[in-house]
Structure 1
Amino acid sequence: MSPVPTGRDGPAGSPVRMGVLGCADIALRRMLPAIAAADSARLVAVASRDAAKAERVAARFGCAGVKGYRTLLKRDDIDAVYIPLPPALHFEQVAEAMLAGKHVLCEKPLCTTRAETAELMELARHHRRILTENYMFLHHSQHTAVQSLLDEGAIGELEVLSASFGVPPLDPTGFRYAPSLGGGALLDVGVYPLRTVQMYLPGKPEVLAATLRVDSATGVDVAGTVLLSAPDGTAAQLAYGFRHSYRSRYTLWGGQGQLSAERAYTPPEHLKPVIRLQQQDRLTELTTPADHQVHNALTAFTDAVLTGRNGPLGETESLLQAQLAEDIRNIARITTN
């Protein structure tokens, strides 16, 4: 593709000037500290519908506090925005940001439907803006190590991928338990194992079967399972939810062994993740270097803004991800409790 104009007023090589729409927990804990510490970005402003909250967060991170998302988008000293709002709000806010000339880093999932995802991708192309769906775990080097072992034939031909991500019950007053805000386990934690499928299975996987357990009190799904198959028959078995003990792992099972990433999705930056290679008569534990996937994800985005190229994690992957999530909802056997 042709390079996208950066739409930046600053000199070449200067940091990407960023604003943040919302003061969500993920922003406060992970992304705002990363932006504030990055060489490739400069945190300019944080917006909230609550002026006092915006000011408190801004004081904490040394930037401007702004009341209202549109007020921030009107600023001419911002090149790009990070959007950590609930999923159902993404479509409107991402569209407004791009129409205001901003590049966008948006928390996963980009949208709650494939149709909205496709519309935003078309809008990004039309306005020549960078639009990135923020799956931070993809930027951790442990997955490169797993891929290298797979390419070297450590487990032979891949037959089955198993992946699971579960967390204990979350704040019942939060957006995850609100259907109108795009809540539910599939879009919150299920998308991690689902995105793992694209990392290792060839072609476009098909959803063969799925289950969703729906909480009758809130109307959101709180757990689920999925069975998928790649065109060549390679299978994927996924499980997820937020009524579980913590688990964050995937296993690749082949003809000569299996590879497991034990802290696959949310490893702390100081952790040295262990990859387990189990073969016929041998168990090998490989300690991979500590890595900062939040910093890496931010750097990948700012590099895309500066160069006009969105890298390997772009439109095709986001559209397939949205389609698979939609297929799961359409095919799933639903139980309530």
Structure 2
Amino acid sequence: MAEKIGVGIIGSGIIVRDSHLPAILSSPTLTLKAIFSRTLASAQALTKDLQNVDLYSTDSSNSYTDLLARNDIQTVIIALPIPVQVSYIKQALTAGKYVLAEKPLAKDVATSVELLKWYNSNIDTSKILFGVAENWRFTAVFVKAAQEVQRFGKIQTFTASVHFFLGPEEKHATTEWRRQPEFQGGFLLDSGVHLVAVLRLILGGKGKVKKISAFVNSLREHLPPADTVAATVVLENGATGTVAISFGSTFFDGEWRVACEGGTVGADVFTSELRTKAVGGEEVVASLPDEQNNVEQELAAWVKSIQSGEVESRLRPEEALADVEIIEAMLKSGGRSVDLKYQP
């Protein structure tokens, strides 16, 4: 049996507690060696039921640099607030660690582009891998929807409609760095990249986005600086579609729909239903496993990336850059058409 890959978790927030930590502990190929957090107390709270996990923090004598110096840690999973994450990514890559960093890639396109240029210029990318954790690309209903769109031929038009109310007491909304965001878009960036990632996954290579125009609005004071966007999207093949996202609406829906020459495809995030209908045929409804937060499959793909020496396509940082670019274009559009240039 192959030796397990040693992991260090960087961060102790919600996504680590609810997703990354249990996924690592259940993995047959990963072993948790250490956790770094801003405070020792938060690291201790996260690991109170664990043994043989070393703790590092900014307020103790065991530092982030000390964690990165360990030879028994081959990869780190970084899940920190958006404004500070890039610095930690660079330090880990410089130390020779494989890095899987939580989405988004960075706070804006300029910072994302700079990070990728730095990585490609300063790190041996054939030996030190860098991936971005976008777990929604591993959700079963969306993966299958993407396959069906490819099967049905040329894309004609599409819609993405995701609306719900993120209340002020919801756990993500109470995080201080989200309550007073030092990055563009607030939840439209932090969570909106999930929804854009799904759209790009489902549209696939045939659905490369060329330009966007959008209007942004704020419906809830506790979701600054904006929580709602309505956009028109143009693909390279000339097809047009619409994207409507709100985290502050009284609507409740979450569906991506694509019309192709050979049929239609619909995927619902809340019901995990896949609806397909070939031209001239009957609608087929399939209920797929509810794997919205599919971090286990995401980590399995990261392990395979390390073992093969090549980052799995859904984890590539270039894909994460493309997601950030679409969100930024929506935020900056003001109704004007914005051309995109970082769509792979």
Same fold (TM over 0.5): yes
8 A Cα contact 2:185 2:225, kept in partner: yes
CA gap of 1:159–1:324, structure 2 versus 1, over 3 A, is: same
8 A Cα contact 1:57 1:65, kept in partner: no
Cα drift, residue 284 of structure 1: 1.9
Q: Which residue of 2 aligns with 1:95?
A: 90
Distance 1:70 1:47 in 2: 10
Cα drift, residue 94 of structure 1: 1.0
Mark the runs of 5 or more structure 2 residues left unpaired by the alignment.
59-63, 337-344
Q: Which residue of 1 aligns with 2:213?
A: 209
Distance 2:288 2:305 in 1: 27
Counterpart of 1:64 (choices 49, 54, 67) is 54
Q: Which residue of 2 aligns with 1:127?
A: 123
State the AA in 2 paired with 1:24: G
Distance 1:188 1:114 in 2: 14
- When normalised by structure 2's length, the TM-score is 0.81
**Residue deviations 1:8-67, cap 9 Å, x none?**
xxxx93222111111110111111100111012111111112112211212334422222
Q: Which residue of 2 aligns with 1:235?
A: 240
Cα drift, residue 327 of structure 1: 2.0
8 A Cα contact 1:185 1:241, kept in partner: no
State the AA in 2 paired with 1:73: L
The answer as to 2:306 corresponding to 1:317 is no
The answer as to 2:298 corresponding to 1:303 is no
Q: Partner of 1:56: helix, strand, or coil?
A: helix
Counterpart of 1:47 (choices 16, 36, 54) is 36
Q: Which residue of 2 aligns with 1:3?
A: none
Distance 1:165 1:70 in 2: 41
Count of residues in correspondence between the two structures: 314
Distance 1:182 1:47 in 2: 27
Q: Which residue of 2 aligns with 1:6?
A: none
Matches within 5 A, 1:124-203: 124-125=119-120, 126-128=122-124, 129-153=128-152, 157-171=154-168, 172-174=173-175, 175-180=177-182, 184-199=186-201, 200=203, 202=206
State the AA in 2 paired with 1:285: V
Distance 1:19 1:170 in 2: 33
Cα drift, residue 91 of structure 1: 1.3
Counterpart of 1:118 (choices 113, 118, 124) is 113
**Residue deviations 1:268-287, cap 9 Å, x none?**
xxxxx321124667332123
Counterpart of 1:254 (choices 260, 269, 291) is 260
CA gap of 1:54–1:217, structure 2 versus 1, over 3 A, is: closer
Q: Which residue of 1 aligns with 2:287?
A: 287
The answer as to 2:75 corresponding to 1:80 is yes
8 A Cα contact 2:100 2:130, kept in partner: yes
**Residue deviations 1:189-216, cap 9 Å, x none?**
2212322332215364133311111466
Cα drift, residue 297 of structure 1: 0.5
Bigger mean CA deviation after superposition, 319-328 or 38-47: 319-328
- When normalised by structure 1's length, the TM-score is 0.82
Cα drift, residue 250 of structure 1: 0.9
Cα drift, residue 247 of structure 1: 3.4
Counterpart of 2:225 (choices 205, 217, 220) is 220
CA gap of 1:182–1:87, structure 2 versus 1, over 3 A, is: farther
Distance 1:170 1:109 in 2: 22
CA gap of 1:116–1:176, structure 2 versus 1, over 3 A, is: same
8 A Cα contact 1:212 1:225, kept in partner: yes
CA gap of 1:329–1:306, structure 2 versus 1, over 3 A, is: same
Distance 1:138 1:217 in 2: 28
8 A Cα contact 1:87 1:182, kept in partner: no
Mark the runs of 5 or more structure 1 residues left unpaired by the alignment.
1-11, 268-272
8 A Cα contact 1:259 1:276, kept in partner: yes
Distance 2:185 2:17 in 1: 20
Q: Which residue of 1 aligns with 2:341?
A: none
**Residue deviations 1:74-121, cap 9 Å, x none?**
333211111111211221121122122221111110101222222322
> What RMSD, in angstroms, separates the aligned Cα atoms of the two structures?
2.7
Q: Which residue of 2 aligns with 1:326?
A: 328
